[in-house]
């Protein structure tokens, strides 16, 4: 892995340390465009993502015990089944197209007003259904974090701290399952760069709290979703013209 890729990862570590998402939703399509295969991307990005999520979860003072129990129960099997499909039975090109479409859909949903979504689709009342869908999407594409963000925001409406804690738990839970399955299937590839990137993640996480407190969360999230939308179209375009 070259210097350019390392710079990308470090930038995304900083981004996710502040906002809870970014490493996988930007890193997965970027490394696919650079020619890396799907299980190698998982082997490299997911351990770093788990490190960030673990820190965010264990240092949070907000208790979400009921959410943790129900989300774990409903999303477990869909994630395992869909990850197995994406690694063994679905072609990489199909995964790339699906990822692009998911990115576009995520950004459009996020740009829509959350209150409208809450009233229209009653996300919280269908907790089990959306947990299943999120687990399946993340297993197939590694991009369930976008939907996880929406769902957590609905469950803990207007409570940013609990929302961030819920997103961190979801990423941590998904990541541990992904790593476990890769190890069982003997598809996990340990990259030497992890030896120094994971300790660096700890440093970045602690320093990022200063920047998090200085930012306007609401307007930044809006901007990021427009970037995701644009990136999704670019990613789709590059895969269609091949």
Every domain of the chain and the residues it spans: 3-240
- The set of residues, in sequence order, having a beta carbon less than 8 Å from that of 127 and lying 6+ positions away, is 70, 71, 74, 155
Would you say residue 111 has pLDDT above 70? Answer: yes
Would you say residue 122 has pLDDT above 60? Answer: no
DSSP state, residue 90:
S
Per the CB < 8 A criterion, the answer to whether 205 and 10 are in contact is no
Residue 102: closest CA among 132, 49, 147: 147
Q: Which residue has the higher pLDDT, 228 or 27?
A: 27
Whole-model pTM: value is 0.82
pLDDT more than 70, % of the chain:
85
């Amino acid at each position: 892995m070259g210097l350019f890729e390392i710079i990308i990862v470090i930038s995304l570590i900083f981004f996710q340390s502040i906002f809870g998402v970014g490493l996988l939703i930007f890193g997965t399509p970027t490394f696919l465009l650079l020619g890396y295969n799907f299980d190698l991307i998982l082997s490299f990005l997911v351990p770093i993502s788990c490190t960030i999520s673990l820190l965010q979860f264990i240092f949070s003072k907000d208790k979400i015990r009921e959410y943790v129990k129900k989300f774990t129960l409903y999303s477990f099997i869909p994630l395992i089944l869909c990850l197995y499909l994406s690694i063994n039975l679905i072609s990489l090109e199909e995964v790339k197209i699906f990822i692009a479409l998911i990115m576009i859909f995520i950004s459009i949903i996020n740009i829509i007003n959350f209150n409208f979504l809450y009233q229209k689709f009653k996300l919280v009342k269908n907790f089990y259904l959306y947990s299943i869908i999120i687990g399946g999407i993340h297993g197939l594409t590694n991009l369930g974090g976008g939907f996880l963000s929406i769902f957590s925001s609905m469950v803990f409406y207007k409570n940013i701290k609990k929302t961030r804690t819920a997103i961190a738990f979801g990423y941590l839970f998904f990541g541990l399952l992904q790593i476990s399955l890769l190890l069982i299937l003997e598809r996990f590839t340990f990259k030497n760069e992890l030896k120094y990137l994971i300790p660096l993640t700890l440093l970045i996480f602690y320093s990022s709290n200063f920047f998090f407190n200085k930012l306007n969360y609401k307007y930044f999230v809006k901007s990021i979703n427009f970037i995701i939308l644009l990136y999704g179209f670019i990613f789709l375009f590059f895969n269609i013209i091949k």
